[in-house]
A = this chain, B = another copy of it.
Amino acid sequence: MTQEQKASPEQATIVLHSGDMDKVYSALIVANGALAMGMEASIYFTFWGLQRLEKGGLEKGPLSKMHLFGLGKWMIKQRMKKSNVAKLERLMNDFKTLGGRIIACEMTMDIMGIDADDLRQDWIDEYGAVGTYVQEARKSEITLFI
């Protein structure tokens, strides 16, 4: 570690490969927690994760996996409301407001034939490839693949 890197703020860098809503949830919770504690945070959306950046993609079946908890969807919704568990949309807004950075994987866009127009461009800070990720991850205290 060089002297300059030591002076830079701590960072969490997450690859979000999965599109499962419970994993998107975990990624945002961890990232927001890091931001709230004064760290920087980047999430690199790739593969199924990238699909959640499509317009309407974050809301699409947010409980699809959750109900595997063994509870019905209705009950989960009630519990989450009662527990004041934040919705994905709100978690994402918090993430952006707290200064979190979102990188969209260009290779995935290419394979899946997704245009930038299809994506929530207001959320995306950068369209990048693996080099962008490695550059961020190598100086991060927390690196996760979700």
Contacts and interface: CB of A to CB of B under 8 A. Distances in A.
Interface string A96-119: 000000000001001111000000
Interface of A is mostly: helix
A51 to B, nearest CB: 8
Contacts of A138: 10, 12, 34, 37, 39, 141-142
A12 to B, nearest CB: 8
A80 B113 CA distance: 10
B107 A85 contact: yes
B71 A83 contact: no
A144 B142 CA distance: 9
A123 to B, nearest CB: 21
Interface residues of A, number: 48
A33 interface: yes
12 contacts: A12-B137, A12-B138, A15-B30, A26-B47, A39-B138, A76-B111, A79-B112, A83-B110, A137-B141, A143-B143, A143-B144, A145-B145
A111 B142 contact: no
B145 A26 contact: yes
A47 B32 CA distance: 17
B15 A144 contact: yes
A139 B83 CA distance: 30
Contacts of A22: 17, 47-48
